[in-house]
Structure 1
Amino acid sequence: MIKKPSAHLDHHLDSDLAKSINGLRTRWPDYSAHVVLTRLQRAALLGSALLLVPPLVWWTIGTLRVLIAAITVLYAGAIIFRIALVWAASRDEHRTRVSDEDARAVPDHELPVYTVLVPAYREPQVIGPLMDHIAALEYPVQKLDVKLLLEADDHETIAAALAVLPSPHVEIVAVPVAHPRTKPKACNYGLQSARGELVTIYDAEDRPEPLQLRRAAVAFSRLDPAYVCLQAELGYFNSDQNRITRWFTLDYATWFRSLLPGLVALGMPIPLGGTSNHFRMRTLRSLGAWDPFNVTEDADLGIRLARLGGRVGVLDSVTLEEANSDFINWIKQRSRWYKGYLQTWLVHSRSPWATARQLNWRGLLCLNLFVGGTPITALLNAVFWAMTVLWFLATPPVIEALFIAPFYYVGLVCLVFGNATVIYLNVLTVRQIERPDLLATALLSPLYWVMMSIAGAKAALQLIFNPSYWEKTTHGLHLPRVHNSLSTAHVD
């Protein structure tokens, strides 16, 4: 079955497309990233810059000392915050677990209809394996509403999908060509005709645990109705491909085993992952679904959900993805994530008093130290590393003059103790996931941080010049070299 646009779109389809693009923007414009900076934000930024000009001209060293002191406090806060999250997660009280027996015990007729949205673009070669993974889900087919979201002009992928559709419960939805051409716009479009009580997203290359939908359905039936989303854990099936995939594996394991459960434990907003997040359909629609102009629509939705009173749980179930194994493609992907985090931070900082009232002080810490702080510290790392190297090589007096004595010692603690602590946390993750072969990778984490810094710089530039551009990254690089051609590699 295929739902596709005709040569002349009818009124219903026009309405679906309009809602997909402008639904959130129309309903809650302050929550939409269609504009990076509002007039008030631009005025505040310009005013701050103008206020800095006189002191920078007449009191250059003193002004720089104050700025560096403020940045040092930000670093210290970010490190302490990360340690607090790992400590909170270590109690292991806030992961939602459903045993295999309990997941299978619910009769088929009592399970809710489940919508599965699968956006894909220019990846015909993964459609076959995708259908295999969908077929492997232990969920009654009569209760499945699978929507394969393909761009209407992606004829090759549509043809591949038509050739392998396993059953009528999988529907091809041809998304009309319109800007922005982003994953959240496609998901919004698929949501217009979704019929499930629950809904989740899988990427085309995902390998979800077969019982994941049943676990989520049972968990939702047990949890308080205030829980409107469950985030499953993401991992990688090609973690041993090279050093980058090993770093990526540690990165994700720390994220989903420690940081997100820590946020849940401390009652803070959860920046969601891009896949395997499960929602109550009614609430998702009432939230305005995804922001098609935000390139990390998942993180934005998590913050927006918290602002509007919803809660998120961490589901004990794993979806395997492909870790990016190529340096250039990794930079593309990570810079998109960082750019989206900056978009999300700017969007939810537009109305500071309303945000503070809705999120309270815990939520504000998360928004500023976790969402905004992650890409900002990645960007600034290069500057401070360069200053450190220059100091040890040449000991220029100007660098010493830039640090106020108390903040110099705070910065020194961040440099030595802070970095050592982050490396230790990576080693702790190696133990948690029982992967001793990743110990050397954990100890080499500073090289991974350099990559993050490059991605942070690129994200900042793209935020200025091309904020809603969804930069695609090539997948399929884990396949044998003979298959890694333009005809077999795919992009997300």
Structure 2
Amino acid sequence: MTSELVVTDTERTLALDRAINSLRVDDPVHSASVALMGWQKPVFAALAVALIGSAVWQPVGTAVALVALSVLGYLLTLCDRVLIFRRGLASRPITIADDEARAIPDAELPPYTILVPAFHEPEVVGNLIRAMAALEYPPDRLQVLLLLEADDEATIAAACATTGSDAITIVAVPPAQPRTKPKACNYGLHFSDGDIVTIYDAEDLPEPLQLRRVVAAFGQLPEDVACVQAKLAYRNERQNLLTAWFTAEYALWFGYLLPGMMARNSPIPLGGTSNHLRREVLRRIGGWDPFNVTEDADLGLRLAGYGYRTAVVDSVTLEEANSDLVNWVRQRSRWYKGYLQTWLVHIRRPGLLLKALGLRNFIRYHLVWAGTPLIALVNLIFWLVTALWLLGHPAAVTAVFPWYVYFPALFSMVIGNFTAIYMGMVALREDDRADLMYAALIVPLYWVLMSVAAAKGIYQLIRQASYWEKTFHGLDIQPHDGEAEAELASSA
């Protein structure tokens, strides 16, 4: 039976204040509460003025320079992704066998805290209760904090009415701005007592041995590994074309790109769920940034900046792939906005970041955190240019593609697109997902959706940087009893 955490007014006020203000008071340079800080405002303003002036004075020359810069970004990103993928093929996630995970005596397992933030999600609370009850971890060493907004009466009522796990405690988060997932997690962290802390979304289905595998992995890894990221996959991959694309994307990302980054000791953009962290390290670096809408990607970079590393373990958490187009754009635009937020925050002290990451990872930081959303946006612009060419205005296009720009751009278009499609197909083949191969073959249509989401995300970054656009869950075709568990077992 779920219970509700009882706290005093004083403790509630203190926890909420720390949840919102801890990072921006103790370490304001790493907080996204202010979009631009210090030198950033005058420098970005000067660049904007210079760009506008150059466009007025030399419009063609300015266009050529911008196209050349974009093509360079494409080529660098392509080369970097190929290097990461190649390394990922040879460096798979850490594997902990079932027997090895179960061999750890219960008395030697550390206290574990699971944070489950949810907002307006009464329809998936039942799945959460069943998933937590299925975890193979001693209940007396497991703390599950269900973080619900105090004014979310529907979800609180659904949680209170659900039975299935005595380890689940409802934590009512006082309503306050910003209304973000990381703020709720910081509030829950204040009441946590586990040596290891992880986050699950309310609709997640982690494989039952995941916590034990993580404990075993931490026991094998050096002390500077502060986070172990589990793999994320989707349980409704065949619901429609959008979920198939999403599943193929995650197969590549968590199966090969993240392990490739791990092998190169690169900072890892953590997944929004199933990242398992040493609590003492998490508190030492200030917890999550409540003003950053991709708190996971920010935390992965902040860990690297403090000298900590992240590992990837071969354990699967099944999630719900977004099956609704509008809902998907809302989610993806928030991700793109958060990547740029994170890039703007961590570039504030470029010299210190370069020293902490090293030159290779410093370049990768720009290509991943800034390049991912910007290239998605630039794709849209280049497609419009291509359409202009096809509609009968080749002279205008030729003017901004002199030969020294045209041939690298042609190489990037032909080889780059083929390489991206090929990597997706390899990831699906290695995961024995031939049934989704059609999605990898027509993935350029998915890129169009990404471009739309990037444009929206960049617009929102200017207008509402810390606004958390809600992603609705429970839209998938719910599995019958036992089907999800069977699929999870086959994925593990």
| TM-score, scaled to structure 2 | 0.95
Superposed, which structure 2 residues align to 1:7-406 within 5 Å? Answer: 10-92=9-91, 95-406=93-404
Q: For residue 358 of structure 2, what is the amino acid of its counterpart?
A: N
Q: For residue 89 of structure 1, what is the amino acid of its counterpart?
A: G
Contact 1:4 1:174 in 2 (8 A): no
Distance, in Å, in 2 between the alignment partners of 1:142 and 1:166 is 15
Say which SS state the counterpart of residue 230 (structure 1) adopts.
Answer: strand
**Cα offset for 1:272?**
0.2
Q: Which residue, out of 3, 6, 11, partners 2:5?
A: 3
Q: For residue 234 of structure 2, what is the amino acid of its counterpart?
A: Y
Q: For residue 438 of structure 1, what is the amino acid of its counterpart?
A: L
Distance, in Å, in 2 between the alignment partners of 1:457 and 1:58 is 27
Contact 2:93 2:255 in 1 (8 A): no
| Cα RMSD, aligned residues only | 1.2
Distance, in Å, in 2 between the alignment partners of 1:51 and 1:132 is 58
Say which SS state the counterpart of residue 391 (structure 2) adopts.
Answer: helix
- Choose 43-52 or 9-18, whichever is displaced more: 9-18
Say which SS state the counterpart of residue 149 (structure 1) adopts.
Answer: strand
Alpha-carbon deviations, 1:136-181, whole Å to 9, x = none?
0000001101101010001121122122244442211000010001
Q: For residue 131 of structure 1, what is the amino acid of its counterpart?
A: I
Distance, in Å, in 2 between the alignment partners of 1:125 and 1:65 is 52
Give structure 2 stretches of 5+ with no counterpart. 479-492
Distance, in Å, in 2 between the alignment partners of 1:390 and 1:423 is 25
Give structure 1 stretches of 5+ with no counterpart. 481-492
Q: For residue 2 of structure 1, what is the amino acid of its counterpart?
A: E
Say which SS state the counterpart of residue 356 (structure 1) adopts.
Answer: helix
Distance, in Å, in 2 between the alignment partners of 1:257 and 1:204 is 23
Identity %: 51
Contact 1:4 1:152 in 2 (8 A): no
Q: For residue 361 of structure 2, what is the amino acid of its counterpart?
A: G
- Choose 156-165 or 234-243, whichever is displaced more: 156-165
**Cα offset for 1:204?**
0.2
- Choose 117-126 or 50-59, whichever is displaced more: 50-59
Contact 1:232 1:277 in 2 (8 A): yes
Alpha-carbon deviations, 1:304-350, whole Å to 9, x = none?
00000000000110000000011101100000110100100111111
Tell whether 2:415 aligns with 1:417. Answer: yes
**Cα offset for 1:4?**
5.2
Contact 1:267 1:362 in 2 (8 A): no
| TM-score, scaled to structure 1 | 0.95
Say which SS state the counterpart of residue 148 (structure 2) adopts.
Answer: strand
Alpha-carbon deviations, 1:454-475, whole Å to 9, x = none?
0000001100001111101222
Distance, in Å, in 1 between the alignment partners of 2:180 and 2:291 is 8
- Choose 154-163 or 193-202, whichever is displaced more: 154-163
Alpha-carbon deviations, 1:357-397, whole Å to 9, x = none?
11111221221001110000001101001111221331421
- In the alignment, which residue of structure 2 is the partner of 1:444? 442
Distance, in Å, in 1 between the alignment partners of 2:163 and 2:446 is 40
Contact 2:268 2:297 in 1 (8 A): yes
Alpha-carbon deviations, 1:443-489, whole Å to 9, x = none?
10000000000000000110000111110122211137xxxxxxxxx
Distance, in Å, in 2 between the alignment partners of 1:440 and 1:153 is 44
Distance, in Å, in 2 between the alignment partners of 1:54 and 1:285 is 47
- In the alignment, which residue of structure 2 is the partner of 1:468? 466
Contact 1:113 1:143 in 2 (8 A): yes
- In the alignment, which residue of structure 2 is the partner of 1:483? none
Q: For residue 273 of structure 1, what is the amino acid of its counterpart?
A: G
Alpha-carbon deviations, 1:175-198, whole Å to 9, x = none?
001000110000000000100011
**Structure 1 residues 335, 191: CA separation in 2 closer, same or farther (over 3 Å shift)?**
same
Q: For residue 307 of structure 1, what is the amino acid of its counterpart?
A: G
Q: For residue 363 of structure 1, what is the amino acid of its counterpart?
A: N
- In the alignment, which residue of structure 2 is the partner of 1:485? none
Q: For residue 367 of structure 1, what is the amino acid of its counterpart?
A: Y
